[in-house]
Every structure is written in structure tokens, then in C-alpha cells.
Structure 1
Amino acid sequence: MGVFGPFRERSFALFFAGQVTSNVGLWFQNLALQLVVLGTTGSAQALSGVTIAQFLPIIVLAVPAGRLADRIRPRSILLATSVLAACVAACIGLVVTGDDPDLMHIYALVAAFGTVQAFERVASQTLIFELVGPQRLSKAVSISTVAIASARSVGPGLAGLAFHSFGASTCMLLNAAGYLFAGLMLFAIRQRSLHARAPAASGPKLTLRRFVRDRSIATLLIVNVVIALFALNFGLVLTSTVDLSFGGDATSVGFVHALNAVGAIGGGILAASRPAIGVRSLIVALSVFGVALMVNAAAPTLGVFLLVSPLLGFGIGCYQGVLNAAAQSSAPPEAIGRLMSLVTIGNYGMTPFGALFMGWVIDASSGRVSLLIGGIVAVACAAFVAIRAPRT
């Protein structure tokens, strides 16, 4: 079974196409919101309110979303979230139509969008098992990270062009269209082609306490939170490094993000090439990620930083592909939703707190120092997994 074996499943191919499209659309919305809020207020603090409004619902609702995904078919949840996300995105488009949009209306709608995302992100991870079954699960989860990386490679550039040519409202409508397309792809998946999971009530009750008591799963969840706090937030870190440390312009910022995303595609494909992925697979993935962070931190000039940017993306793709595959492989099929809800809290719920820490580090020193800290933390996490995770 090759790296791209999951695409032999028609259902997975449709799901992947919808994920790429909706993630590209999300870049249109995020970039336009950043520019609108900054243009209206001129305040970075006001912009941080958008981040808090978007990610706070994920912290609050991810666990209930996981329970729901283990009781209702994830495809049904995603069909509903696709429509709801499109409606909210269209409403945001109406709010930002004027020259002086109401900031509180933006915050409220972004919070509504984050609420939908809390259910959408957990259900999309839970659905992968039903799309490909247990034998192709690890490869399919790793390959699914490529959808996000692919969107990140083209999304910012296209979003910038759309914003300057057509305005913020059009960007929001394009995001709405992306979610509707994802919904159509889900609708095209035949229900009878899905692999059944045992209902949540059929097995022993799997609570948060039981997950934490499992040494492998607890190790993975700890690493997930620590890396999210100290080694991610690349939207902030890479932009600040190019702008503040190297004096680059907007073109250089976009180029760095694009090169980073191209590398992430390669990292996700490498993760998918592994015959089996467990928690101890994180040792290699974290080591690669840590070394990549340190290499980028050591870049003396902008040219060198651009040259090694794909290496950092490769490390990110490898780490995220292995992390998500190891998480899903560690849970019984009937509990994937609940475990992935905890992983989602670590990945996205820690974003505001990580941004505050990274912003303080960058203001006190530089973006290169924040990359170095991330590299040291990643290597330390690799050692932590080697010591703590069981070998079986």
C-alpha cells in the first residue's frame, strides 16, 4: 500500500478536495479580517481580539464536540457545519462592507464562526476512520495534513490579490463558497461506502481520566500542548522575523509562508510513508522539527532564511502528520472523536496563549530567538517521549 493509497478510496478523495478548498477560503477570510481590523483601528490589541474570539470557543466546546462526533456520524455534523460556516462568513461579508465596520459585530460573528469550527475540526478528524477504515488510517491522517499545507501554500497570495482587487466582502464570500463546495463533496460521499465505527455506548465508558491514565496518550497530549505553546504560532513568528529581524517587505513575508507550506507538504507525505505510526514515532518527528527550527534561527540573512524555510515547513508537516496519526491510532474507533477533541484543544486552544508568549519574546529579543526557543523545546519533547512513552 503506497503513500497515496488512501486516494483509492473515492470518499477520501472527495473529502480531501473539499478540505483543500475550504482551507484556501479560510485564508481569504483571515487575511481580510486582519487587514480590516488593523485598517480601522490601527491597533494590534484590537487584532488580538479577533484571535481570542475565534479560538476561545474551541477551548470551551472541543470536548462536547468530540462526544457528539462519537455519537452522531461525523459526515452529518460536517454537512451542517459547512452550511453554518458559509452563512456566518456571508454575514461577516455584510458587516465589513462599509468604511467603518462595527468592531463588536466583527468579534461576535468571529466567535460564532469559531463555535462552528470547534465542531468542524473535531468531526473532520473523526471522519477519516470512516472514510478509509483501520488499515489505511495512519496514512490517511498524515495525508490529510497536506490539505492544510497546500492551502497555506497558495491561500495567502490569492487572498492578498482578492483583497486588493475586490475588497474584504468578496474575500468573505469566497470563503463561504469554499465551505459550500466542501459540503457538496461531503454530500457526494455515499453513506454505504463508509466504514462503520462501534457506537460510543457499546464499549467501556472512556472518560478523560481514562485517557490521561493511558501513558502513551498522556505523553502525546502533553507534548501537543507544550509544542503549541512554545514552538508554533508561525503566522506571528515568521512574519515578525522577516519584518523586524531582516527588514523584509510584504512580498518577502508571503514568500516565506509559501516556501514553508511547500516544505510542509513534503513532511506530511513523509509521515504518510511510514508503515505504522505510534506515539514513539514522535521521537524522530520532534527531532526533525527541532533541528529545522534551530537551522532557521541561525540564518544570518534574509536570503539564507528564505533558503531554509522549506526545511522548517518539512519539520512542521512531519510533526503534525505523525502527531495526528499517532493520536487516532492510539484510540479505540468508538472513542476517536473524544481523543481528537483533546488534541484539537492543544493544537488550536493554546494558540492565543502561545501568541502572547511569543509576542513577548519577540518584543524583548527577536523572532530568531523565539525560533531557537521552539527548537530547544521540540528536542526536549523528543527526549521526553523517548523516556516516558512505552515501547509497545
Structure 2
Amino acid sequence: MGVVLEVADAERGDEVFVQGAPTRDDEAVDGLGLDTRIRASGEGGLERQLVIGLGGTTHVVGFTYARDHRFVGQHSHFESWNFRVYFAGQLLSTIGTWMQTLAQAWLVLELTNRSDRLGITVALQFAPLLFFGALGGVLADRIENRRLLIITSTLSGLLSLALGIVVASDRVTIWWIYGFALAYGFVMAVERPTMQAVIFQLVGRDRLASAIGINATILTTGRLLGPGIAGLIIARFGVAPCFFVNAASYLIVIAALLMLRTDQLVPRPQLQRAKGQLREGLRYVRAHPDVMRPLIVMVVVGLVAYNFQTTMPAIVRFEFHRQAGSVGAVQSISAIGSVFGGLFIAGITPHPRRTLALVSAGFGVCLLGFAMAPGFGWFLALSIPVGVASAAFTTVNATVLQRATDPAMQGRVMSLHQVAWQGTTPIGALFMGWLIEATSARVPFYLGGIAALMCAVAIIAQRSAARPTLVVG
């Protein structure tokens, strides 16, 4: 059984009692006394001891130690059929999505040889999320999430198939790409908040922190494989096959969603159709500082730093004079770092202020190092710590937000999170595309690093939140 709490105030050796659940489980097995104790180990840690009693004597035969917020059994949700099936489908789909992302970006650069045109493409794709993402969250609270994801996956697959046909027939122009990017963006405005909300139904609140970390790791694995595969395919066959592969990957997602056992999903109140539900969500955010804080941080960092679909291909092509395979290599190598970052963060229940400040600062430092890379080799190597820091930041931000949000508000609040993270991309992508043309492809990474560091300073400067109560007995 895992324990999630702060124990900084407990003395070494104190037995603790958490959330009304006793920490002793005594039982007799063939005359052998078994006693499991959870004790404060001092310095904010926990020890779980297995004590065996035999013949009037007791022996501590082993223990597990949990530092700060870590807990034993953090990955037990892999025992869930729904968790395994859903994320297996998402992994394969993410590989296809990242193949299409690289193919689309490279196609724009080949057609126009201008980074500002790539910025426009990315802006069009994410503009619907900016303007309609909050309404998508209302739909996620109204409609059963599994059914809604089946609809959005079907539409996304059809769009990828159609774009692949246009590219393969040699009729593609920049205007075709603009149109498909915008259409895909409207689907994404509903899909992204729904994907965030469904995690709650898969694992519940108690295992939410670990599930979000594992989710980030699995999706990052797709980013690890997708661009590398796409780079090889583009070099040998061109960009069109990448769109067809992505279209096929949505069939796997739909199959996984249909295989979910609905009776094992954690129930979440369904919102009835009524006026003012979006305004109700905004009022909820304003009234809860622990909800508002991560949203504001994500707005700033998302606007300035998370424009990798524009900045990454641009710096590789114009600063280091490399081809599509090199873009795929950088994205894949950075994904390796993201896997490690996601796995590490999966074992932590973050403090809503301190942990968020720490990962923001770490991400900022890594981006500044990225910007100062003297050559492509250094840039490639530094993409690993950037991946670690990025995964840590996004996972902690989403975890802090979802843990602070009432289940009935999950769809609307997480839609605002998606607006803050990826909905700000239209503004950031347009600005960064223009900035690269006017200055250098390194400048956006400098600005992103500074923005993340400023957020960390602002979080630390806030008044400390009240410490949770711990009952020691």
C-alpha cells in the first residue's frame, strides 16, 4: 500500500496514521506473526518495515524507504486492463502523430524555405485550441469521454488519410497544408482536454500523479520513435507515407477505446447541458489559487518556450545546415531524456508550489544551455537534459493542476490547461517564426529559458502554502 504525505514534522521512529487508514496489518500465518509498520525515518522520509515475530522475538527483515513524497507500489495501475490497453493504443498513435508532425514541418520548409511559413502552419493548427479549447472542455464534461475520443480519433484519421492522398498525387501547395492544419486543430480542441480528463477515469485521484507521469513517459516514447522513423522514410520514400502511417495508427486507438471495460472506469459526474458552464469553470479557477498557479505558469512557458515544432526544424536547417534526418534525430534523442524525466516524476506527488518552482527553473537552465550549443553535436547531446527537464515540468504542472481540481470540473479545467500549453502556440509560433527570420534561430531558446526562470522566481516569491496536517501516534 502506498502512502502519500509530508512527514517533515515527524520524529524518527514515529509510527504514522494517514487518511484514516491504520499502518499496522497484523496477521498470523501458521503461528508466524507478521507485522507491517510504516515509520517516519526523519528528514521527510518514510520507512515501511516487515517485522516477523517467532518464539517471542521479533526481527526486522527488510524495509523500503520513501524519500519525501515517493511511495511504495507507485506503478500498481499497470495491473489495470483499462490502463494497459488505453496507453498501448496511445503509444502507437503517438508514433504516427510525430511522424506526421515532422513530415508536415519538413514539407513546409521544402515548399517555401521560410521559417515564418512554418510558424503560420503551426499557428493555424493550434488556433482552434486557443479560441475553442475551453468549449471543448465543456464537451468533455458533458459527453462520456471514451465515446468522444472515438469520434475525434476517427476524424483525425480521415484528415491524415486525405492529406496523404493530396501529397502523394503531387498536388500539394502551402494552402492545402494550411487548410488541413486548421481542420486538424478543430478536432484537437476537443480531443486534448478529453484525453487529459479520461486519465482520472482510468486510475482515480489517488494514483493520478503516477499515471500522469507514466502517461508522459509512454507518449514521449512515441516521440522518441516517431521522428526517427519519419526521417528514414522521408529520406527514402518522401513525406507522403508518413501521413498514411498516422492515419492507420488511429485505427489502433479506436480499437483500444472499444476494448475498455466501462464497468471498471472511475465514475465522473456528467455535466448536464445548461447555460454559463464555461463561466462557472473560469470562476472556479479564480477562486482556487492552487488551480490558477499552474495555469498561469503554463501560459507564460507555453507561449515563449513550447514552440518546438517551429524552432527545432528551423535551428537544425538554418543554424546547423542539416536535413530532415537530423531533425528527427534531435527530437528522438530529446525524447530519451523525456522518458527518464517522466519515469522519475511518476514516483513523486509534487508540492503545489515548491516542486513546480524547481522544475520550472531546471527547464529554464536547460533551454539556455540549448541556445548556447556551439555545434550540432553539442546541440544533439544537450537535447537529453532538455527532454528530462521538459517532461518533469509538464508532468508536475499537469499533476498539480489535476490533483487540485474537483472531478466534476476536470474537463473544463484541463481544457484551460491545454489552452495555456498548446493553445498559446499560434501566438508563439508566429512570433518565433518572425523572430528567427529577423535575428537567429537561437534567440527563441534564450527567451524560453528566461521565461521559465522568471516563473520559478515568481512562484518562490509567493507566500508559502499551509502545511498539511499529519497525525502522529
Q: TM-score, normalised by structure 1?
A: 0.91
Q: Which moved more, 1:13-22 or 1:46-55?
A: 46-55
Distance in 2 of aligned mates of 1:226 and 1:96: 36
Greater strand percent: which structure?
2
Residue 338 of structure 1, CA deviation:
0.3
Distance (Å, rounded) in 2 between the aligned partners of 1:255 and 1:83: 30
Of residues 195, 205, 209, the one that matches 1:124 is 195
Q: Deviations over 1:103-161 (max 9, x none)?
A: 44443333222111111111110000000011101111122112331121111121122
Are 1:89 and 1:173, in contact at CA under 8 Å, matched by a contact in 2?
yes
The answer to whether residue 425 in structure 2 is matched with residue 354 in structure 1 is no
Contact 1:70 1:338 in 2 (8 A): yes
Alignment of 1:335-354 (within 5 A): 335-354=409-428
CA distance in 2, matches of 1:373, 1:33: 25
1:61 to partner: Cα distance: 2.0
Residue identity opposite 1:208 in structure 2:
L
Q: Which residue of 2 aligns with 1:28?
A: 99
1:78 aligned to which of 149, 153, 164: 149
Name the SS of the counterpart of 1:207 in structure 2.
helix
Contact 2:231 2:325 in 1 (8 A): no
Q: What amino acid sits opposite 1:89 in the alignment?
A: S
| Alignment-mate amino acid for residue 323 of structure 1 | N
1:95, 1:251 → 2: CA distance? 23
Counterpart position of 1:191: 262
The alpha-carbon distance between structure 1 residues 299 and 66, as it changes in their structure 2 partners (threshold 3 A), is same
Moved more, 93-102 or 248-257: 248-257
- Structure 1 pair 389/11, CA: closer, same or farther in 2 (3 Å)? farther
Compare the two structures and name the one with the higher helix fraction.
Answer: 1
Q: Could you tell me how far apart the structure 1 residues matched to 2:376 and 2:117 are?
A: 29
Q: 1:367 to 1:228 in 2, by over 3 A?
A: same
Give CA-to-partner distance per residue, 1:159-217, whole Å, 9 cap, x none. 122334444443222111111101111111100010101333599x9431231232222
Contact preservation (8 Å) 1:93, 1:170 = yes
Secondary structure at 1:331's aligned position in 2?
A: coil
Q: Which amino acid aligns with 2:219?
A: I
Go from structure 1 to structure 2 and tell me whether the alpha carbon gap of 1:328 and 1:152 turns closer, same or farther (over 3 Å shift). same
One-letter code aligned to 1:17? A
Query: Alpha-carbon deviation of 1:278?
Result: 2.8
Instruction: Work out the CA distance in 1 between the residues paired with 2:440 and 2:213.
Output: 32
Distance 1:267 1:130, change over 3 A: same
Q: Name the stretch that deviates more: 258-267 or 231-240.
A: 231-240
Would you say the 8 A contact 2:120–2:430 is kept in 1? Answer: no
Q: Are 1:320 and 2:414 matched, yes or no?
A: no
The yes-or-no answer on 1:267 pairing with 2:341 is: yes
Alpha-carbon distance in structure 1 between the residues aligned to 2:313 and 2:109: 15
* Partner Cα separation in structure 1 for residue 177 and residue 319 of structure 2: 32
Q: Is the 8 A contact 2:361 2:456 kept in 1?
A: yes
1:295 counterpart = 2:369: yes
1:63 aligns with 2:134: yes
Q: Could you tell me which runs of 5 or more consecutive residues in structure 2 were left unpaired when the two chains were aligned.
A: 1-71, 467-473
> In 2, Cα distance between the equivalents of 1:48 and 1:369?
15
Determine the structure 2 residue equivalent to 1:154: 225
Cα distance in 1 for partners of 2:283, 2:135 equals: 15
**Counterpart Cα distance in 1 of 2:75 and 2:384:** 22
Q: Which has the larger radius of gyration?
A: 2
CA distance, structure 2, for counterparts of residue 294 and residue 32 of structure 1: 27
Show the 5 A alignment for 1:70-109.
70-109=141-180
The answer to whether the aligner puts 1:113 opposite 2:184 as a matched pair is yes
The letter of the residue matching 2:369 is: V
- State TM-score, norm by structure 2: 0.76
Q: Which moved more, 1:324-333 or 1:165-174?
A: 165-174
Range 62-71 or range 296-305, more displaced:
296-305
Distance 1:3 1:256 in 2: 31
Tell me, yes or no, if the aligned pair for 1:292 and 1:315 is still in contact at 8 Å.
Answer: yes
Q: Does 1:175 align with 2:246?
A: yes
Aligned to 1:388: 462
CA drift of 1:375 comes to 1.8
Paired residue type of 2:284: R
Alignment equivalent of 1:51, drawn from 119, 122, 128: 122
What is the distance in 2 between the residues matched to 1:318 and 1:95? 38
Partners of 1:158 and 1:211 lie apart in 2 by 41
Contact 1:128–1:140 at 8 Å: present in 2 too? Answer: yes
Q: 1:40 to 1:359 in 2, by over 3 A?
A: closer
Change (3 A) 1:286 1:43: closer
Q: Distance in 2 between matches of 1:50 and 1:243?
A: 17
Alignment RMSD (CA, Å):
2.5
Report the alpha carbon displacement of residue 77 of structure 1 after superposing the two structures with TM.
Answer: 0.6
Once the two structures are superposed, residues 263-294 of structure 1 have per-residue CA deviations (whole angstroms, 9 ceiling, x without a partner) of 01111112111034535421111121122122
Cα deviation, residue 373, structure 1: 2.4
Q: Distance in 1 between matches of 2:380 and 2:209?
A: 31
Work out whether residues 159 and 180 of structure 2, in 8 Å CA contact, stay in contact via their aligned partners in 1.
yes
Matched, 1:371 2:445: yes
2: CA distance between counterparts of 1:297 and 1:41? 25
8 Å Cα contact 1:90/1:176 also seen in 2: yes
Mapped to 2, the partners of 1:89 and 1:305 lie a distance apart of 31
**Mind listing any 5+ residue stretches in structure 1 that lack a counterpart?**
none
Q: State the aligned residue count.
A: 392
Take 1:113 and 1:243, find their aligned partners in 2: how far apart are those partners? 26
- Please say if residues 58 and 118 of structure 1, whose CA atoms lie closer than 8 Å, have aligned partners that are also in contact: yes
Contact residue 281 and residue 409 of structure 2 kept, 8 A: no
